[in-house]
Structure 1
Amino acid sequence: MVTVVCTRWLDAFPASYVTVLRNAVAASLKRPHRFVCVTDNPDGLENGVEGVEMPDLGIPLQYQRRGCWPKLSIFTPGLLPADQPTLYLDLDVMVRQDLDAFFERIESTGGFHALREWNPTIWSMVPLAMRPHRGVQGSILGFYPGEQAKLFHKFYDQKEHCFEAFPLDQDFLSENAQSPQDWPFAWTASFKWHCLHYYPINQVLTKIHEPKNAKVVVFHGNPRPIDVVPLGDYRWGTKRKFGHGPVDWVREYWLRHDPTWTDAAPAKAA
């Protein structure tokens, strides 16, 4: 048995995100597993999702909304089985294939596994080994909870110092995780960095690239997956990286895993 865990707090994501992630995990993971959502609001969680109350770590509201500091609650001792391989996934990732490989890596080496924060697009012309390592990107984490208990104590006992010393929770993880290791770079893709072109190139190359070999596609920042699903002619994205209307391969994924979706009343994130 292994554990897949996500987190949901305040109003950042509707419960439909949890449903989609659970269904995508079930389609991509062969081994028996628990699917756990650590949350301050279990409303809307469906069968197959084990809702676990999010421990109160005393995080001020401003830091609950800036970054993902409540995510660190997953390291609370006793919350998850200490000796069970555990894979944390952000709610806005797309699980496309073969999660078993992530667990095999956790089991083979132990330690703390995370995405290497991506470099801006211009660095794609440089071999990976020569690119600056920007630390942890916190969307996909792998660990044995018992091995990472120090993360909880380091944060809980020194919260104010952590908020002052680290801009985001992933900066805290970069500095304090035990035996950090990068996931294989080819396993994941960033929607923002690997699928979109900058303006004005995106006015000529309008098709959104699909990273077909990536096991997981990570949405971080703007847009979120649900922003590129509805039918229609609308603009999404940032000032320099944007598109219009649905992205076909994201829409197909979402409709496959969310049986309640309707274009008439999409359940948009707050």
Structure 2
Amino acid sequence: MKQVICVKWGTAYGPEYVNRLYGMLRRHVTGEFRLVCLTDNAEGLRPEVDAYPLEELGCEWPKKSLGKWRKLVMWSADLGPKTGLSGPVLFIDLDSVIVDNIDGYFTHGHPDDVVLARNWAKPMQRLGQTSVFRFPVGKYPHIIEKFRADPQAVADKHGFEQHWVTASVPGGIKFWPHLWTRHFRLHCLPAFPLRYFKPAKLPAGARIVTFPGGPNPADVMLGRWNTQDPPHEKPWDHFRAAFTGGVKHRWRHLRSYVLPTPWLTQHWVE
């Protein structure tokens, strides 16, 4: 049985994100699989999804930190007993898009390996990115236990949950083959200003496309960077707004443009 886990909390992502992930798995996983969702609200989830309460972080949240520290609860020693998970399990962020068969994610490397996507924003550093990663359930509880002992010190030194995981795995993390897991902004979106005229491409060999740091695939499908932007905004209107619309960060605004992306319409569906 192939095992997949996701985490949903707060209001940023509704149940449709989990249901869509299940649909993508059904199309791109051979044989039987199980999807477990740790959540603070299971309302609206498909009956095929096994939902369990998302436990609290168990310590004070670090101050002035952008890290998604709540994801560390997956390293708890009691995750297996609470959910029935055992051995290697694949975590996938809810804003990831599965575009091809992912059977290899369940068998790549050794079952005890912690396998992460490479942090493509910092390619010269051996840092992992946890949009898509595999870990052995219950094997490395020290990752959350040491964080709980001094969360502020961990956050001050490492900044992000994924950097802490990278630094904490005994023997070091492993990476997926580099073509499998692609970063939307870095590998799909044309460079500025070409993105004003060409939609994002789907790289050859990609199996999962991740969206760390945005934009959200739901917004990309509408041709906008975020919910504050109008759908399908004309390139010239977006460019002009950087100089006439009271924009605080002009360069960031100019770069934050995306055209509707046809392959998302095909793949990012339940």
Q: What is the TM-score of this pair, normalised by structure 1?
A: 0.81
Letter in 2 for 1:170: Q
Q: Do residues 183 (structure 1) and 154 (structure 2) align?
A: no
Deviations 1:169-193 (A, max 9, x none): 1111111123311111111111100
Deviations 1:54-100 (A, max 9, x none): 11123556769833111111111121356422000111111122221
Deviations 1:227-251 (A, max 9, x none): 0223852379x53534455211112
Deviation at 1:133, TM superposition (A): 2.3
Stretches of structure 2 that go unaligned for 5 or more consecutive residues are 224-230, 239-251
Distance 1:63 1:253, change over 3 A: farther
Letter in 1 for 2:118: R
Deviation at 1:208, TM superposition (A): 1.8
Q: Do residues 197 (structure 1) and 190 (structure 2) align?
A: yes
Q: Do residues 168 (structure 1) and 160 (structure 2) align?
A: yes
CA distance in 1, matches of 2:221, 2:16: 13
Contact 1:63 1:69 in 2 (8 A): no
Query: Alignment partner of 1:137: what SS?
Result: strand
Partner of 1:261: none
Distance 1:13 1:82, change over 3 A: closer
Q: Do residues 246 (structure 1) and 252 (structure 2) align?
A: no
Q: What is the TM-score of this pair, normalised by structure 2?
A: 0.81
Letter in 2 for 1:210: L
Contact 1:6 1:37 in 2 (8 A): yes
Partner of 2:228: none
Q: How does 1:107-118 map to 2 (within 5 A)?
A: 108=110, 110-118=112-120
Deviation at 1:109, TM superposition (A): 5.1
Deviation at 1:30, TM superposition (A): 1.4
Over the matched positions of the two proteins, sequence identity in percent amounts to 26
Distance 1:41 1:243, change over 3 A: same
Q: Do residues 90 (structure 1) and 97 (structure 2) align?
A: no
CA distance in 1, matches of 2:12, 2:23: 20
CA distance in 1, matches of 2:257, 2:205: 22
Partner of 2:244: none
Deviation at 1:155, TM superposition (A): 1.8
Partner of 1:154: 146
Deviations 1:200-220 (A, max 9, x none): 2334x5232122420101111
Partner of 1:53: 53
Contact 1:90 1:140 in 2 (8 A): yes
Letter in 1 for 2:97: M
Query: Alignment partner of 1:249: what SS?
Result: helix
Partner of 2:131: 139
Query: Alignment partner of 1:21: what SS?
Result: helix
RMSD: 2.6
Distance 1:66 1:10, change over 3 A: farther
Query: Alignment partner of 1:186: what SS?
Result: coil
Letter in 2 for 1:136: G
Distance 1:65 1:97, change over 3 A: farther
Partner of 2:243: none
Q: How does 1:251-262 map to 2 (within 5 A)?
A: 251-254=265-268, 256-257=269-270
Distance 1:244 1:155, change over 3 A: closer
Query: How many residues of Structure 1 are paired with residues of Structure 2 in the alignment?
Result: 244
Contact 1:82 1:147 in 2 (8 A): no
Deviation at 1:159, TM superposition (A): 2.0
Deviation at 1:197, TM superposition (A): 2.2
Contact 2:195 2:258 in 1 (8 A): no
Q: Do residues 34 (structure 1) and 34 (structure 2) align?
A: yes
Letter in 2 for 1:197: P
Contact 2:29 2:103 in 1 (8 A): yes
CA distance in 2, matches of 1:55, 1:64: 22
